[in-house]
Amino acid sequence: MLQGKNILLGVSGGIAVYKACALTSKLTQHGANVKVMMTQNATEFVSPLTFQALSRNPVYIDTFDEKDPEKIAHIDVADWADIAIVAPATANIIGKLANGIANDMLSTTLLATQASVYIAPAMNVHMYAHPAVIENMKKLEEWNYHFIEPGDGYLACGYVGKGRLEEPESIIDTVSNHIASNSLFKGKKVLISAGPTREKIDPVRYFTNRSSGKMGFALAEAAAKLGAEVTLVTGPVDLRLTANHITRINVTSAEEMYEAMHSNFSEHDIVIKAAAVADYRPKVTFDDKMKKQPNNWNVEMERTKDILQSLGEQKTHQFLVGFAAETSNPIEYGIQKLKNKHLDAIVINNVASEGAGFAGDTNIATYVNKSLEPIEIEIASKLDVADKLMNYIARDMKDEVQ
């Protein structure tokens, strides 16, 4: 998987720098093109000449050491890299990345690159467990940085515990396996809907629901990480995307979402309707604000178009996935929806369960395909749930082809 890949190896200052030498050698043996960038502290442990000999490329240390006047070195390397690996990654470099600090060549280049970044921490066991370090790693994971957990064992400081840099072979295996999984949806187009809709009453009032859009956005991120070209149709939410290859279409009402989903439906291979679309809208709307009256105000509601039903009736080659948010008999109602709306799979949420409701950062789900055998996904972050769901979809699509 690494043959011909351009790999930036970032080396920060710690005793584990010696393992980065072996990692450089093994990466080149796998056919990768390796350029090493060291912090000044890292040069206190191993000479840059060692990495130059192993990588057969110049070693970068100083941001202001511009050897080629036609290029800005750190931007040139940031653009060149397909993959960036930081090994060893100290608490210092992790903290810099998590807080946008760019005060040396390595931190500046890592903030500038669009490559996938893999971080292999190495530090004292108590440093690794410090709340600040944990919070920084959590933030970076949310930004799609990938962590390679350190191993347990005897550390240079004399402590025994987690904090030892993972072995070079394991780092290479982790990166290779991740690259392989990232090609699951290569060449596929995925259409996803997310968030709520708002149904206007007058210029200041509307009907809506509790959906935050977080699950749909997580699915879009997960699909993009697996190599898909993603179109995300989203209702009004205050969320941003971090992955590349996602086209965002903003809508407000159920009618607008219907039009956006249908106009994009035919050209996509996988369609996931995660949005919580209003089932009803006001039959009469007002261009001016309705003034408060002494009596009650009855608002007559009419049905909106059933987006999922119509997509199911029109599908040809698409793998169509729906969502069912239920509060009682969730599996029964979810399977009924799967059958009635001609779906290939459905994701069922019991939104009454703690950890599975709207607006939270976690979810609990049940995935059911045409075999009608439920697969339970225990409570996890919505990003982790999305990863699992996309892998189940990839498996089912592969089974259909076979």
According to the model, what pLDDT value does residue 93 have? 97
The strand pair at 33-38 and 83-89 is best described as unpaired
Query: For 207-224, what is the mean pLDDT?
Result: 95
200 assigned to some structural domain? yes
The total number of structural domains in the chain stands at: 2
Asked, for residue 216, whether it belongs to a domain, the answer is yes
DSSP states of 61-77 as a string? --TT--S-TTS-HHHHH
Determine phi and psi for 289, rounding to 5 degrees. -65, 130
- Confirm or deny that 323 is annotated as ligand binding: yes
Domain finish residue from 165, 181, 197: 181
Q: Is residue 100 part of a domain?
A: yes
Nearest one of 259, 199, 190 to 225, comparing CA atoms = 190
What band does 71 get if pLDDT is binned at 50, 70 and 90? confident
Model confidence at 296, pLDDT cuts 50, 70, 90, reads very high
pLDDT at residue 63 is higher than 70: yes
Among the candidates 154, 181, 208, a domain finishes at 181
Is 337 annotated to bind a ligand? Reply is yes
Given 181, 214, 229, the domain boundary residue is 181
pLDDT digits (tens, 9 = 90+) for 195-205: 999 999 999 99
Same domain, 167 and 208: no
CA distance 266 to 102: 45
Q: Is 1 among the domain residues?
A: no
Domain assignment of residue 134, yes or no? yes
pLDDT of 258 strictly over 60: yes
Mean pLDDT, residues 179-201 taken together: 90
Q: Is the pLDDT of residue 237 over 80?
A: yes
Q: Are residues 242 and 354 in the same domain?
A: yes
144 and 255 in a common domain = no
The answer on 213 and 104 residing in a single domain is no
pLDDT at 357: 74
- 168 and 305 in a common domain: no
289 is in an annotated binding site: yes
Q: CA distances (Å), 368 to each of 220, 335, 380, in order?
A: 20, 7, 18
Pair (101, 195) in one structural domain: no
Q: CATH number of the domain that 259 lies in?
A: 3.40.50.10300
Q: Distance between CA atoms of 340 and 317, rounded to whole angstroms?
A: 18
Question: pLDDT tens digits, residue range 12-29?
Answer: 999 999 999 999 999 999
Tokens 């608490």 correspond to 91
Q: How much of the chain, in percent, has pLDDT values that exceed 70?
A: 97
Beta strands 319-326 and 270-273 are: parallel
Q: Are residues 40 and 138 in the same domain?
A: yes
List Cα–Cα distances, 118 to 11, 123, 319, in angstroms. 12, 16, 32
Question: Is residue 143 domain-resident?
Answer: yes
Residues 195, 172, single domain; the answer is no
Tell me how far apart the alpha carbons of residues 122 and 168 are, in angstroms, rounded to a whole number.
Answer: 13
| Whether residues 258 and 155 fall in one domain | no
- Domain containing 86 equals 6-181
Say what the pLDDT of residue 13 is: 94
Q: Which of 53, 75, 134, 157 is catalytic?
A: 157
Q: Does residue 155 have a pLDDT over 70?
A: no
Does the residue 127 lie in any domain?
Answer: yes
Do 264 and 395 lie in a common domain? yes
How confident is the model over 236-257, as a mean pLDDT? 93
- CATH, residue 12: 3.40.50.1950
User: Per the annotation, does 341 bind a ligand?
Assistant: yes
151 with 209, same domain? no
Using alpha carbons, select from 100, 86, 230, 106 the residue that is nearest to residue 146: 86
Checking if the pLDDT of 140 tops 70, the result is yes
**Are residues 35 and 137 located together in one domain of the fold?**
yes
157 is catalytic: yes
Q: How far apart are CA 260 and CA 277, in angstroms?
A: 13
